[in-house]
Amino acid sequence: MFERPDPIAAARVWEVGALCRAIADALQVRFNPVAVRGEITGLTRASSGHCYFSIKDMHGQLRCAMFRRAASGLDFAPRDGQLVQLHGRLGVYEARGELQFIVEGMQQAGQGALFEQFLQLKARLELQGLFDNARKRPLPALPRGIGLVTSPGAAALHDVVTALRRRVPHIPVLLVPAQVQGVAAAPTIIAALAKLYGLAQAAAAPGADTPAIDVILLVRGGGSIEDLWAFNDEQLARMIVQSPVPLVSGVGHETDFTIADFCADLRAPTPTAAAELVAQPREFWLAALDLLVGRIRDGAQRQLDARHQRLDQAAARLGRPSGLVAGQQLQLARLAQRMRHGVLLKMQQLGQTQQALQTQLPQQLRRRLGQHAERLERTALHLELLDPRLVLQRGYALLTDTGGQAVTRVRQARPGAALRATLADGTVDVTVAPRSGAGVPSRQ
């Protein structure tokens, strides 16, 4: 009877490193050199100048490394989603036991399938007007509330919340979670936006007590074209343009573009930048408020100074009527003195004439002369009685307005008007008091 050998006992036991080298040798003999065609995905550039990415098609994916010597010879800048043809050799990265393609040459081979879909959808939606700048709205300078759609576990959420807490800790933020990667991502983003739209419209209704939402942030961190593909969904694009408030898209890194970016009211290069666009720092507004307060204070002081100056000018103008009245009174006194002097002189002349006539004329003429003299004396007495100072001494007053014009009618003395009364021994400033009744000056 023959014994069957044990396959496990008969198999060679390899050291891990030795097995990796053996596989690498087998690949070297069997495949290298090799050329491969596919789409670039997950492209990163190290500070050393080396490039690391994957090459893929519908059925598989292969990790690649392109060292600085080969990368420096490229005549184009490779990017995610680009269809390329690579030349190099297969090997094993022994530190991790991974299959790896060392790229020694790269040529463009047209656009990748996903990128072609992106361009086709972009052209169709642009033709339908979804990207028109005319429909895009400016962001509110001082939003009362911010809506946020992203994944609760994404680094983008931490970046946005950190930026908002630092700049506007007083503004409430409402997070509606959604998936941001994978087949189910686009429907969950659409549902999250629909919820925020409803809350924003409810808050805008008259008498609503719902917290206001004045702007919406749709954010996600960077990734390959496959990772960001949910943001190239046509239904999501149409949902974005229906937003009742301005919507900011902050998807990927600065070099990443999605259909959502073109549909949004504003595209931010990163999630953090999206938060900063809708949140002016509180210190900025406080400084602006201080500036406005200073301007208001200076303006008020200038107005007060101008009013004081006008008041001084008015006071100076009000002081002039008294001087005018005093001058007129002096002129009146001079005229009265001249009148008295003229009357006395005339009386002396008439007296002399009378004496001459008494000696020369008959008795009848002397009698008529006496009558005339008596009339002249009465006239002189009458003129004496017309002296304005005598009128003032009897209790009367001369009223003038602020312009020095005599007030002789009731309609000239409006309620509240400032007048000046000239009495026998000086002047008094008076104000016309309102009358009871209909407020019409009496003419009695």
Among 365-369, 374-378, 430-434, 437-441, which stretch is predicted with the lowest mean pLDDT? 437-441
pLDDT beyond 60 at 249: yes
Closest of 209, 210, 263, 212 to residue 234, by C-alpha = 263
Give the pLDDT mean for 354-359. Answer: 64
Question: Measuring CA to CA, how many Å separate 332 from each of 165, 386, 388, 399, 432?
Answer: 86, 12, 8, 16, 27
pLDDT beyond 80 at 316: no
Among 6-20, 34-48, 121-135, 301-315, which stretch is predicted with the lowest mean pLDDT? 6-20
DSSP 126: H
Burial (CB < 10 A; 0-12, 13-18, 19+), residue 135, is exposed
Question: Measuring CA to CA, how many Å separate 55 from each of 30, 81, 155, 339?
Answer: 20, 10, 26, 127
Share of the chain above pLDDT 70, in %: 86
Confidence class of residue 409 from pLDDT cuts 50, 70 and 90? confident
Please identify which residue in the block is written with the tokens 């009871």: 436
Confidence class of residue 225 from pLDDT cuts 50, 70 and 90? confident
Give the pLDDT mean for 170-179. Answer: 92
> Helix H segments across 210-362?
234-240, 259-263, 271-277, 282-360
Confidence class of residue 395 from pLDDT cuts 50, 70 and 90? confident
What is the pLDDT, as a whole number, of residue 13? Answer: 78
What is the pLDDT, as a whole number, of residue 439? Answer: 46
Confidence class of residue 438 from pLDDT cuts 50, 70 and 90? very low
pLDDT beyond 60 at 52: yes
* 384 vs 156, higher pLDDT: 156
Q: Is the dihedral of CA 372, 377, 378, 379 positive or negative?
A: positive
Domain 131-280, classified CATH 3.40.50.300, yes or no: no
How many H helices and E strands in the chain? 12, 13
Q: The whole model's pTM is what? A: 0.48
Give the pLDDT mean for 199-221. Answer: 88
Among 112-126, 237-251, 382-396, which stretch is predicted with the lowest mean pLDDT? 382-396
Give the pLDDT mean for 180-201. Answer: 93
DSSP 422: E
d(CA 360, CA 369): 12
Give the pLDDT mean for 234-260. Answer: 91
Domain 7-111: top CATH class: mainly beta
Helix, strand, coil shares of the chain as percentages rounded to 5? 45, 20, 35
Q: Assess contact for 141 and 210: CB atoms under 8 A.
A: no
d(CA 172, CA 174): 7
What is the pLDDT, as a whole number, of residue 312? Answer: 74
Closest of 135, 74, 70 to residue 101, by C-alpha = 70
H or E element that contains 86:
strand 82-93
